Structure 1
């Protein structure tokens, strides 16, 4: 009985954490009031960074009262999901999700990490389509988003998931009789903590740069932002800096971030369409556990990124299919196949897609969305499309090459010992 509820806790709790971290401003009240310096710190990226730091702190320091920490995190998310709101409650939501994620990473050491990682990936990839569906579903109430914070509606999805998570944590605590981390869970090392702290700082810094570039465009032309490319070599260097093969999951998460950042947004018309991504994630997680070949997953992610070259009808359907079918499966497969790792590195990697929810490169301005000349339908990508797609594909392949190097280095170290 305890093992069943433990799986329920990991799956539902992981999905909840991923969902909240990926879209923390849903039904929250993030408007600035002078308490924080500028709109950067009222963004989803900054809130997700706070959640990532909370997950790192729990995964690093807590080895007792693990279930209690998960219960507290679920209750915090449930409180934020209730009607009403207050300023910056999205920070409260992400910190609660971070507490939950960090506790589950410690609790689900070993074989259970596959179920947890798949659930978190499913939550991360479902957040945007779910938000789009909820917005379309409430379209007649088009002014609901302008309600005062005191009358904000309940977030039924967050509340339901948080309650199930809290109940599962309580049942496991009562039946297991042991609220401690598994014996195999090692203590964190300085490098793992440094990487875990540096990743959120990198995400907020890049978002500040992107925001500054976006709102400093004064002419009627277009602007381009290229600083997102910095994240790839920094994260690859961080993964190689970690001991043995523990950085492989960080490389996998980096490849997922790049691939997901280039996909098209979509709005499901009916709620069963929301189950496509979780179903494909489940298959990818299962196969990643049974046949772990992370380089193959990286190859699939690179193909999905390369499909972005088809940006005009009718060939843009290839990009849409890659978004809907390939990315969820490949993301879960790659991350699960890269496990196991240490708790801090796993927590940092699972939070990475929300902390670095930015494009590698971006083009903005009115000419970026309204071309000066009308192009006929067909396959005729412009120079910027080639540049952005090429950069994304090359970045993913670089992560795959770093994985191969990690495997070679780990084998050499094993032989040396």
Structure 2
């Protein structure tokens, strides 16, 4: 029994580290980025999404998945270690796609739900903690990273340490993973089409927003607005409903997560203790979601978080700060965990979606991908948000209404999917 517990713990640790490392690697700014660091090379993120989908769809042998997982770690490590060059974002995206896709494919065996929930916990924690971790890693603002003294040091020590720990966890699980049975194939054509569609959507939305921002010159005063990000909502909802059974529930849960965090990343987590608190809340959300899965309860909590975004002026802004720091990590992890398990391909594609679609607003990391945006120009960079008086700003109400309405639509879609018969019996508690 003790050995079984150790095996389960090792598997979960590997999944958590793989998901967390993927999110951090894809959010790390490239030293070769332009002064406008908010606009990375757009083709690298779709490459990550397509790689994740292809690997999770077609790679079914655990031994092969383990090898690709190690290769992904190696590719990210090379970029983090050597001097920067123009292809850095593409090598990192390829490595991160191999890492996430291979980890998603290692789902066979009696603990497949536990593994998928561990992978989801790692990705959600990485997405939420990207901005706070960057705050501690770099003293200069990200748009000036090329001019900071740290830019001359090519080695990313934090990411290298994270990769080393992930590789050690892989080695600890390697023998057992290589002897597992082959994962059965799912609906490959449908799952592959969904993954590619999301990748293409991310690229098109990036181009749309980039054109909108670059097209607003100093001669045209006043706010500029972009609403094409709303195309993400029907895309993910329809993809979730198109999948057989309840496989698409995790896609809908991810959409609710994106909508709830559209107000920005956890910028308030400015201390180590707050970071640890957010990580603990994510872990608690996954544990509770595993024991008592109630996706609609999680969606309601996410809707409350999105609604508090309207309170952006003192003293009411403290309500939103608490909601983002306390409610969002728990509710996001709980909702996603409650919607698992799914097939390997759908799980990998869903967990890659927040990174894939955040490029629509050119974010270096996750946390600034609302579906609609209002922006203007300063002397240095485009702004996607300001500090209006909350009760008098119409656009602020519209933006909040879009987020809450999206989450409500996710609730209806999840309710419809929950009426479908489950494709597999419930996993017994150990």
Tell me, yes or no, whether TM beats 0.5: yes
Task: Verify: 1:50 aligned to 2:47, yes or no.
Answer: yes
- 1:361 CA displacement: 0.6
Pair 1:160–1:44, CA change in 2 (3 A)? farther
CA distance, structure 2, for counterparts of residue 40 and residue 320 of structure 1? 26
Give aligned pairs, total: 397
**1:321-336 alignment, distance < 5 Å:** 321-336=322-337
Q: Do the aligned partners of residues 370 and 241 (structure 1) sit closer, same or farther apart at CA in structure 2, a change above 3 Å counting?
A: closer
Q: How does 1:141-160 map to 2 (within 5 A)?
A: 145-146=146-147, 151-160=152-161
Per the alignment, residue 96 of structure 2 pairs with 97
Q: 1:188 touches 1:344 (CA, 8 Å); kept in 2?
A: no
Q: 2: distance between equivalents of 1:231 and 1:6? A: 33
- The answer as to whether partners of 2:125 and 2:279 remain within 8 angstroms in 1 is yes
Quickly say closer, same or farther: Cα 1:213–1:307, change in 2 above 3 A: same
Partner Cα distance (1:153, 1:413) in 2: 48
SS at match of 2:116: helix
Counterpart Cα distance in 2 of 1:45 and 1:410: 39
Q: How does 1:109-124 map to 2 (within 5 A)?
A: 109-124=112-127
Indicate conservation of the 8 Å contact 1:63/1:106, yes or no.
yes
Q: Is the 8 A contact 1:84 1:149 kept in 2?
A: no
Structure 1 residues 113 and 265: alpha-carbon distance in aligned structure 2, compared to 1, 3 A threshold: closer
SS in 2 for 1:43: coil
Residues 286-297 of structure 1: pairs in structure 2 closer than 5 A:
286-297=287-298
1:364 aligned to 2:375? yes
Specify every segment of 5 or more residues in structure 1 that has no aligned partner in the other structure, as ranges.
Answer: 33-38
Aligned to 2:259: 258
Aligned partner of 2:231 in structure 1 is 230
Partner Cα separation in structure 2 for residue 14 and residue 292 of structure 1: 21
Q: Is the 8 A contact 1:86 1:150 kept in 2?
A: no
RMSD over equivalenced CA pairs, Å? 3.0
What is the CA distance between 1:366 and its match in structure 2?
A: 5.0
Q: 1:406 aligns with which of 406, 413, 417?
A: 417
Residue 36 of structure 1 corresponds to none
SS in 2 for 1:261: coil
* 1:142 positional shift: 11
Per-residue deviation, residues 335-358 of structure 1 (Å, max 9, x unmatched): 110011111110010011111112
Q: For residues 413 and 209 of structure 1, what CA distance do their matches in structure 2 show?
A: 41
- 1:29–1:90 Cα contact (<8 Å) kept: no
Distance 1:122 1:264, change over 3 A: closer
Alpha-carbon displacement from aligned partner over 1:69-118 (angstroms, at most 9, x marks no partner): 11111111111111421113022112211111111111133332111111
Are 1:202 and 2:213 an aligned pair? no
Q: State the secondary structure of the residue aligned to 2:304.
A: helix
State whether residues 46 and 355 of structure 1, in contact with CA within 8 Å, keep that contact through their aligned partners in structure 2.
no
For 1:128 and 1:101, how far apart are their aligned partners in 2? Answer: 20
1:3-22 to 2 correspondences below 5 Å: 3-21=8-26
In the superposition, the TM-score normalised over structure 1's length comes to 0.87
Shift of 1:284: 0.4
Shift of 1:220: 1.5
Residues 196 and 348 in structure 1, CA contact (< 8 A), matched pair in contact too: yes
Query: CA 1:384 to 1:82, structure 2 compared with 1: closer, same or farther past 3 Å?
Result: same
TM-score, normalised on structure 2? Answer: 0.84
Q: What's the CA shift for 1:362?
A: 0.5
Distance 2:297 2:336 in 1: 11
CA distance in 1, matches of 2:144, 2:198: 37
Seen in structure 2, the aligned counterparts of structure 1 residues 144 and 224 have a Cα distance that, compared at 3 Å, is closer
Q: 1:33-81 deviations in whole A, cap 9, x for unaligned? A: xxxxxx9996266433221211111101112211111111111111111
Counterpart contact for 2:56–2:105, Cα < 8 Å: yes
Matched, 1:132 2:135: yes
Which of 262-271 and 109-118 deviates more?
262-271
**Contact 1:78–1:159 (CA<8 Å) still a contact in 2?**
yes
